[in-house]
Amino acid sequence: MTNGRTIQGKVVKVAGEKTATIIVERKVMHAKYHKTVKRFKKYLIHDEKSQLDINDVVSAIECRPISKTKSFRLSEVISKGVK
């Protein structure tokens, strides 16, 4: 079994009982202007124990597809967000 990708992001939405949406930010160099710009992508992650809240910073690991759009599961909560 191979280890999947690991992503780190901030929880922006808790939907349903075992699903959370995280946003992952990466910084890339603009091709023309050679300036660092931010790029964002949202991922749905599987939270088995329903322990996440909005603004938590989490780490997720790639796994088999759990649903049509969910293929990451919660690895660890890095820091709890302010309510």
Total domains present in the chain:
1
Per-residue pLDDT of the chain (83 residues; tens, 9 = 90+): 457 899 999 999 999 899 999 999 999 999 999 999 999 999 999 999 999 999 999 999 999 999 999 999 999 999 998 87
At residue 17, what are phi and psi to the nearest 5 degrees? -90, -35
**Token code pair at residue 66:** 């759990």
Residue 1 lies in a domain: no
Residue 22 lies in a domain: yes
**How far is it, in rounded angstroms, from Cα 41 to Cα 24?**
5
Domain that holds residue 31: 6-79
Give this prediction's pTM.
Answer: 0.87
**How far is it, in rounded angstroms, from Cα 60 to Cα 35?**
29
* Domain at 74, CATH number: 2.40.50.140
